[in-house]
Structure 1
Amino acid sequence: MRRNLRWAVAGLTTFVAFAVPVWLCAAVVLPSLLKDPAIRWALASALGTVMASLAAVWGHGFATRAEGTTGRSASSVQATAERAVAIGRDNQGPVSTGDAQVPAQSPAVAPAAPQHPASSPVDAVTASGNRSIAIGGNNSGPLSTGDQPDSPRP
């Protein structure tokens, strides 16, 4: 739905959220309880204002959301194979999918991590191969899949 159309829907919803409660209260429900029309319409207008303000808050969020946003998270992080690792955002620690552990770098010896702005998660991160690593953001930690060039493959 285009942005202008969403704003029109939000405005129409806000108007209806004001007009319907005011008319129902002032013309249908309250005449039997309150005989003075000035009090009846003032009370109905106050209720309509509250309902319209709630509709306006909803309408603003509805009209300004990004195109194609459904309100739920569309990201998917999956590690489907044996010893696979999938990380949806940035990684700062060591990751190993092999038999040997990756030694953690000591803070005194480790080079300064590059200062990357926080990355937003990607829509899908999938590590589907054995011992695979998939990272959806920036990596600043050591990685190891356990594959050694000089060792025989299992």
Structure 2
Amino acid sequence: MVDINLKLKNAGTIRRFFILMSSPGFTMIELIATMVIMAILASSTITNYSKFNMGLRIFEEVKDMSRKIIYARDYCTARKEIFYLKVDADADQYSLFRQNSSTALMLPNESSHQFDLPSYIDISATNVDAGGLEFDAIMGEPQSITANATITIGDFTITIENPTGYIHVQ
């Protein structure tokens, strides 16, 4: 009898912290600590997700703008027409023209020749002249520029290579 009371009093090998150690599983303290750590990690992930998601939306808009410019250039080249690209950085829009700088280019499945960027997009810099960037009718090469033409939107830049007319996003 003395031996049993001694084990209970000193919390020996049979009982530690008032929990039987012979039963498998986790203690309540371990479960609560794990849930607290998971809640902290989840909250930090959720707060950073909106910034990541906005970056993806901006990148998709820049890629869409690049694709439309490439398609318009190839569309005009196939028809042996001169293509003009006008970029208005103040209004955050760009326009497509053919033959001369005032004849609107209506691409198939598009409702306008002028494209307005969403409100969360800002054209921060461009070196495309206000009169427009002209691409020739035979090879689709940019004319009247000595350096690469660029359109900067946020962290991304659309580059039109001189003299080839290769268009890519960085």
TM-score (norm 2): 0.28
**Bigger fraction of residues in strand:** 2
Structure of larger gyration radius: 2
Larger RCO: Structure 1 or Structure 2 (Cα < 8 Å, ≥ 6 residues apart)? 1
